[in-house]
Amino acid sequence: MKKLSFYLLVFFFVLTNMSIAQNVDSLLNQGLIKFQEQDYNGAIKEYTKALSIEQDNINALLQRSFVFNVNGDYNKAIRDLTRVIELEPNFVSAYISRGSIYNKLKDYNSALTDLNKAILLDPKNQDAYNNRGWTKKFSGDLKGACKDWKKSKKMGNSEAKIILKNNHCK
């Protein structure tokens, strides 16, 4: 009888967790639909609902940070990306995204810190070099910016070729 009770308990636990996961996935999908419809506030609400069920859901945090960024709510986007980095300290894209948002806020020191970390984690990441190039340019280091864009171009980034030409890098 004890064994049967244990198995029933495990069954209900698994069933409950499956239901929660399906609900979170449904909310993430609804958020994506709202985003595609350009209902940014609606998308944020769906992602926030998902996070109320599973507070450390990386997909919900990433998607909500993206919508916050598009919506111009940079501090909230940074907050969500910071949480992603706390949960996944080696998540290169989170550092790149947060660094590019710091650029928008003209917080170039924080942007450089994040982009340097991204490059440390993934030395062949072209986006990290491109973004760090912009950070250097915005902070007055065109020579350093050109160096990063050249490195990105050398890795095969076709966008870097245009950036180099437009910024008169030699």
> Domains of the chain: which residue ranges?
17-77, 90-170
Question: Rounded to whole angstroms, how far apart are CA atoms 120 and 15?
Answer: 42
As a whole-number percent, the residues of the chain with pLDDT over 90 amount to 83
Mean pLDDT value of segment 153-167: 92
Mean pLDDT value of segment 113-138: 97
Q: What is the dihedral of CA 161, 122, 137, 144, to 10 degrees?
A: -90
* In CATH, 17-77 is 3.20.20.70: no
Q: What is the pLDDT of residues 137-150, one digit of tens each?
A: 999 999 999 999 99
| CATH architecture, domain 90-170 | Alpha Horseshoe (1.25)
Instruction: Provide the token pair at 166.
Output: 């437009």
> How big is the chain by its Cα radius of gyration, in Å?
21
On whether the CB atoms of residues 53 and 30 are closer than 8 A, the answer is no
